[in-house]
Structure 1
Amino acid sequence: MKLLIVESPGKIKKLQSILPAEWRVAASVGHIRDLPQEAYGLEPPDFRPVYQITPEKKDVVARLRTLAAEADEVYLASDPDREGEAIAWHLKDVLGLSACKRVTYTAITKDDVEAGIAAPRDIDMALVHAQEARRALDRLVGYKVSGPLSRACSESRLSAGRVQSPAVRIVVDREQEIRSFVSTTHYGVELTFDRVENVSEGWNAVWLPREGWLDEDNPYVLDKAVADRVAAVRSLDVLAFEEKEAATAPPAPFTTSSLQQAAGNALKFTPKKTMELAQKLYEAGHITYMRTDSPNLSETAIAEIRAYADAQGLPLPPAPRTWKSKDGAQEAHEAIRPTHIDVEEAGENADEQALYALIRLRALASQLADAVFAVRVARLGADVDGRQAIFEARGRTLVHPGWKQVMAADAADDEDAEPSNSVPLLKEGATAVVQQGTVSTKKTKPKPRYKQTTLIREMERRGIGRPATYAAILDNIIVQKAYLREEKGWLVPTPRGEAIVAAMQPVFSFMNLDFTKRLEDALDDVAGGKTSYADCVGLAYDTLMAELATFREKTAVPCPACGNRDTFYHNVNPERGWNYWKCKECNASFEDDGGRPGSRKEKKEIPLSEFDCLACGSAKLRRIAGTKNGAAYDFFKCSDDNCGATFNAVDGRPVPREEPTLSEFACKQCGKPLAVKPTRKGGIYFSCTGYPKCKQRYWAKDDNSPDYDNPPK
């Protein structure tokens, strides 16, 4: 048997239908392991990641191990990007594959899959290290900054992100620009002509006050009386006239980013929905891989599209088209396109079909001839108050539709088309008679708020993050964290979004938009083998630690009892009615006084019971009862802290607790013996006997040994 391991279970059916009978296709369901959830997992100076199999993937890993053991050959076919390369390496390491073959393909078609399998290679460790560096940098910022940020903003569960926080800042900056914007009222003039020497009527010209009437210090016409006098002219001289043809090239095929923007504008899909639909189209074999920075198609695809267009009678340019990629683009594979250009409809539902049509028409149009317009531009002048007022009339008529035969407009640009204006054929020196002059009152407007699509465009322009991550980032900062909200499609920062930006921006380099781009360039250097993982992460770590010390000094509140800044925090939870200060170091609690620690909360004294301690006999027991997390507890504890013995409460009386059953295993955390404890479902788990100093627990594996790699949360 030959085993092909892919990421998504959605690919299995299609791939199994392509491959011969001796092949078996299985899925890892994404990553099988990650940095630990309950610990940092990265320690200087080398920052070597400590990985754990994620709890929900234990069964997946067990099944893959069984299949790999039965297979004669194992092929790792995770996605053709850095993330996919890292997944392949994790699979090789966890499954203990001494020999395996890494294969990639950008479309799930018979030809592409067979070509990929026929050209296996080794795992590219430079790409793996680049993914590890990205993950490490994300963990570094999130793990080190989120706690101090929450304390600084007096709100629990806030998070900082290497890419998400700059994205929030972009929206916050725009909102602040809008709030501080002061509108200016100014005036413009448009003339409508009824005839030009009896040739035509119904065309327009607009006044160009910047030519001779305004300067940089006074960019607007503020006096309506001046505009009224300009609008009163009824005869103008034709100063110049130009008639020419202008060609407009088609837009490039879709990259990940431009697909998200176009689907948002044309189909009103969120970036997250767009990527989910594209994933399904890719898994079904309808489109090529949908995570790409390249705007160019393969030579084979171009040849197929040109042949199809020629057969359909569509206009073609003399040579195939290519496009210049944006700086920093990762061009491991071609632009997004249909796998078969002659298939006009594909997809399981209306949304998939609409997205497929968008992708197909964009790819087809990209190889067609230019759209050609006949353009007429006239400059006209008249004397007003002893100065010449210049007007311009511009008209454009489509004469050869070219690519516009299949695609009306570039849906990614979200711009209004140029208005129609039937400018007649004019001669210099002729006279144009005005039918009507209109003064328009205008007000300057601030730049608009961002939409999801325009925020993606801005992030891409600034080099923040990667297009493949944009959908997840926006979902996180809008839906999960609520740093932004949508109002009629526009993004508006929430108070907590503005608070985190205000707290972090003055201190942390990762909030600097240029710094974020430079860090992306450093990750590219790791992928290209130009720098090492440790150097990339180490430099960022040193910078962050220095900035974090400054941040804590500026924002952290010291505990009034012990002075510790790192363990003293403001515990606010409106749902539970909590609003107090607590120190994890000395366990002191304080009332809140306007966002600062107030008077100390005295610990509630539990009265002594009538029973003597069964362990030391020299002190009374306290009966402790209540609920925690919905579960009731009731036990006795010795009032002498040096003893601290505890006993079960049975019928209101203290009863010695049963000694735990010790196992042969030791705690990986502190080295003390592990006790065997029963679970609610009749199984067992292991608990460290070093409690309360060590609270480590472990699930039991099938052979009743502790699962050190996957401790419970």
Structure 2
Amino acid sequence: MRLLIVESPGKIKKLQNILGAEWRVAASCGHVRDLPNQGYGLEPPNFELRYTPTKPDVLKKLAGLIQDADEVFLASDPDREGEAISWHLKDALGIKSYKRVTYTAITPQDVQAGLSSPREIDMNLVHAQEARRALDRLCGYKVSGPLCMAVAEEKMSAGRVQSPAVRLVVERERSIRSFVSTTHYGVELVFEAVANISDGWKASWLPKEGWLEDGQEYFLDKNTAEKIAALRTLEILACDENERRTAPPAPFTTSSLQQAASNALKFKPKKTMDLAQKLYEAGQITYMRTDSPNLSDSAIAEIRAYCDAQGWPLPEKPRTWKSKAGAQEAHEAIRPTHIEVEDAGETPDEKALYRLIRIRALASQLADAVFDVRVARLAGSVEGKTAIFEAKGRTLKEQGWKMVMAQDASLSDAEEAEPDNAVPSLKPGCQATAVRGDVKTKKTKPASRFSEASLIREMEKRGIGRPATYAAIMETIVARSYVREEKSFLVPTPRGEKLVDALVGAFGFLDLDFTKHMEERLDDVASGKLTYVDCVRDFHTQLMKELDKFVCDHTIPCPECGDREHFRHIRSKEKGWNFWGCKACGTTFADEHGRPGAKQEKEKTRSEETDFKCPKCGKPLVVRPTKSGGVWFGCSGFPKCKVRFWAKDDGTPDVENPPKN
């Protein structure tokens, strides 16, 4: 029996049908080991990671299957995370003989191609995944505690990638708040239709040509604008006619799919990735985590043959695209596994996403859309000064790729629409007579708030995060209440602004260029140019320097022993606590307007017994004071009996509602 181990149980049925009875397909259900929840899980100088099993039952089941297998194939996903999962399986299960196989589509052809090209686990990819995990753990665990002290707020967490994402949202919101709108004026002249053109045409005044003072960006004089709008006779200076070709958009990468699905289908990034995962597991699309916009040669040949059979226009040569800086390009762009299949997916949402992917893949290999473009320049005189106008118009001459993507909502953020303007052929030196002139009152507007789609695009542009992390980042910053959604836009919360204010300038990982640099270093680990230890050690060295200064600048030393790291403000609205305490020396202080006040006396270790009996062991309950001035009851049989109760308003123990912890 041959054993194929994959990540997701959702792939088992499809793969079992492809491979047949001689194979057994099993799933690891994701990662089987992780860093411990308590502690860092790594220590300098070598930062060796200490893992603990997270799915012992899965490991036990796989161990039994491995014993009965003649060959073991590790087929986790074809990315860094998948490579690490294969290594964890090999290491945790003690697999001595294995074959690492990958494929980017679950089809008979792709799976057989992967099985025929086995290899060893790529430890450079594993180390890159481990380095990312180590950096995230160091940043989150070491910074979050001091951050909570600095902002006097519980459960505030820092993140190496999530915090820069919050920063982008906060800075955009603050630029909107501080924006001062400027009212300015433009002029539009309307001319009569010519010949068989049914609509009139328009020309817009260009105030930058001779009407703005030095340093002036907008025209502010409404009276003058009204005089310019009164022009009726203008001289035609030039009329240029050209052909403009517009290439189709590239096939989808992970980020562009998330953006397009957000624009066209109103899907959140996580929903898009969940649906894409289902389509991939069903063998309908290729692997959905990729930053390459290019298709494989065989896929291009298949798409071109299909388009040719439909009679659709094709360019002479297959299309390729230049990848964005920093792209890993481990896999081809997202496409259907069988381009002739028009409809795929189990649910309406899956079907809608599949159609979006298919149409984009088809359009990517079609011919350019061709427009006839006409641009005319006209001039009129106002009080001895020349006012220049420009009229632009275009008509679609050849549809090309637009025949399959006409009015596609997925391009709404990427393609700027040009209004129809039927400019006729005009002869320079002749005159044109306007029938109407309109003053256009305009106001400058601030940049728009980020949507999830536009934030992903901004993060990708700045090199923050990777395709596999975008959906999780969006989900995390909302779930942790750093950002909230308002009419499909992202708005920072006061909590998010406190986070950014505390961290910006204090830690390098909040610097957007530094974040991009760290992604590049992780890429260097993946390619073998940089070692895991060097990558993590350099980050740790800088982080600890910044952390020491942050603790000194943002914390208060214990008045008793001087310790800063373990001295903090302790509050609990539920239990009425509000005081300062030091774990290093055990001293507590009253809170006086947010600062440590008078030293508090320690609780007496012996307290008077009461007539109330412990409901568990029958011994007398003792009464003890709380730090807020109240009392509570505990069993005199402590520590053998740990029963305790809060006091009710009448001073008796609240036996019916014992504390939960």
Query: What is the TM-score of this pair, normalised by structure 2?
Result: 0.92
SS of aligned partner of 1:406: helix
Aligned residues of 2:608 and 2:623 also touching (Cα < 8 A): no
Map of 1:417 onto structure 2: 417
What is the CA–CA distance in structure 2 between the aligned matches of 1:67 and 1:596, rounded to whole Å?
61
CA contact (8 A) 1:200 1:424 kept: no
Matches within 5 A, 1:272-351: 272-351=270-349
2:23 is the counterpart of 1:23: yes
In the alignment, what sits opposite 2:74?
76
Task: Trace 1:656-675 onto structure 2 (pairs within 5 A).
Answer: none
1:113 match: 111
- Classify 1:217/1:128 alpha carbon distance in 2 versus 1 (closer, same or farther; 3 Å): same
Q: How does 1:552-701 map to 2 (within 5 A)?
A: 552-574=551-573, 576-605=575-604, 608-609=607-608, 623=622, 634-636=635-637, 646=639, 648=641
**Structure 1 residues 185 and 589: alpha-carbon distance in aligned structure 2, compared to 1, 3 A threshold:** same
The corresponding residue for 2:146 is 148
Q: Kindly provide the amino acid, as one letter, of the partner of residue 38 in structure 2.
A: E
Distance in 2 (alpha carbons) for counterparts of 1:561 and 1:291? 54
Q: Is the aligned partner of 1:4 residue 2:4?
A: yes
Deviation of the 1:191 alpha carbon:
0.7
Q: Which residue of 2 aligns with 1:458?
A: 458
Check 1:626–1:115 CA distance in 2 against 1; reply closer, same or farther (3 A cut).
farther
Is 1:386 the equivalent of 2:384? yes
C-alpha separation between the residues in 2 aligned to 1:372 and 1:573? 67
Q: Is 1:239 aligned to residue 240 of structure 2?
A: no
- Give the SS at the match of 1:166: helix
Does residue 521 of the first structure (1) align with residue 520 of the second (2)?
yes
Amino acid aligned to 1:282: Y
The AA in structure 2 aligned to 1:594 is H
1:75-132 deviation per Cα after TM superposition (whole angstroms, max 9, x unaligned): 0000000000000000000010011010000001111111111111000000100111
The Cα shift of 1:570 comes to 2.1
Distance in 1, matches of 2:398 and 2:572, equals 65
5+ long unaligned stretches in structure 2: 611-619, 627-631, 644-661
2:36 maps to: 36
Do the aligned residues in 1 keep the contact of 2:194 with 2:200 (CA within 8 Å)? no
CA separation in 1, counterparts of 2:608 and 2:451?
Answer: 64
Residues in 2 aligned to 1:412 and 1:598: alpha-carbon distance in whole angstroms: 60
Partner amino acid, structure 1, of 2:470: Y
Alpha-carbon shift at residue 411 of structure 1 (Å): 1.7
* AA at the equivalent of 1:435: V
Deviation, structure 1 residue 219: 1.2
1:82 alignment partner AA = R
Asked if 2 retains the 8 angstrom alpha-carbon contact of 1:286 and 1:339, the reply is yes
Equivalence for 2:510: 511
| Residues 64, 371 of structure 1: alpha-carbon distance in 2 compared, 3 angstrom cutoff | same
Q: Which residue of 2 is the match for residue 102 of structure 1?
A: 100
Asked if the contact 1:4–1:77 (Cα under 8 Å) also holds between the matched residues in 2, the reply is: yes
Seen in structure 2, the aligned counterparts of structure 1 residues 578 and 290 have a Cα distance that, compared at 3 Å, is farther
Rounded to whole Å, the distance in 1 between the matches of 2:640 and 2:92 is 44
Task: Determine if the alignment matches structure 1 residue 494 to structure 2 residue 493.
Answer: yes
Counterpart Cα distance in 1 of 2:257 and 2:167: 24
Give CA-to-partner distance per residue, 1:117-164, whole Å, 9 cap, x none. Answer: 111100000010011101000011001100000111111111111100
Letter in 1 for 2:48: R
Aligned counterparts of 1:531 and 1:521: Cα–Cα separation in 2 = 10
Q: Note the C-alpha offset of 1:474.
A: 0.8
Tell me, what secondary structure is at the counterpart of 2:192? strand
Task: Report the CA distance shift for 1:626/1:106 in structure 2 as closer, same or farther (over 3 A).
Answer: farther
Q: Secondary structure at the match of 1:133?
A: helix
The answer (yes or no) to whether the contact 1:635–1:647 under 8 Å persists in 2 is: no
User: 1:215 Cα shift?
Assistant: 4.5
| Structure-2 change in CA distance of 1:314 and 1:604 (3 Å) | same
Partner of 1:654: none
Structure-2 separation of matches of 1:648 and 1:463: 57
Which residue pairs with 1:124 in the alignment?
A: 122
Q: Secondary structure at the match of 1:402?
A: coil
Which amino acid in the other structure matches residue 203 of structure 1?
A: W
Q: Sequence identity of aligned pairs in percent?
A: 64
Alpha-carbon shift at residue 543 of structure 1 (Å): 0.4
Aligned-pair CA distance for 1:563: 1.8
Q: CA deviation at 1:398?
A: 0.7
Offset of residue 597 of structure 1: 2.3
| Aligned residues of 2:255 and 2:457 also touching (Cα < 8 A) | yes
> 1:282, 1:288 within 8 Å by CA — same for their partners in 2?
yes
Letter in 1 for 2:549: T
Q: CA deviation at 1:451?
A: 0.7
Q: How does 1:153-192 map to 2 (within 5 A)?
A: 153-192=151-190
Q: CA deviation at 1:2?
A: 0.8
8 A Cα contact 1:155 1:570, kept in partner:
no
Give the letter aligned to residue 162 of structure 1: R
CA drift at 1:561: 2.6
Quick one: structure 1 residues 236 and 199, their matched pair in 2 at CA, closer, same or farther if it must change by over 3 Å? farther
> Mean Cα displacement is larger for which, 410-419 or 99-108?
410-419
Q: How many residues are paired up?
A: 627
Q: Deviations over 1:212-239 (max 9, x none)?
A: 1115511111110010011010111110
Q: 1:159 to 1:320 in 2, by over 3 A?
A: same
Question: Which residue of the partner structure matches residue 366 of structure 2?
Answer: 368
CA distance in 1, matches of 2:83, 2:397: 49
Deviation at 1:603, TM superposition (A): 3.9
Tell me the CA shift for residue 22 of structure 1.
Answer: 1.4
For residues 493 and 195 of structure 1, the distance between their equivalents in structure 2, rounded to whole angstroms, comes to 50
d(CA) in 1 for partners of 2:145, 2:102: 40
Q: Tell me the distance in 2 between the aligned counterparts of 1:248 and 1:649.
A: 76
AA in 2 matched with 1:485? R
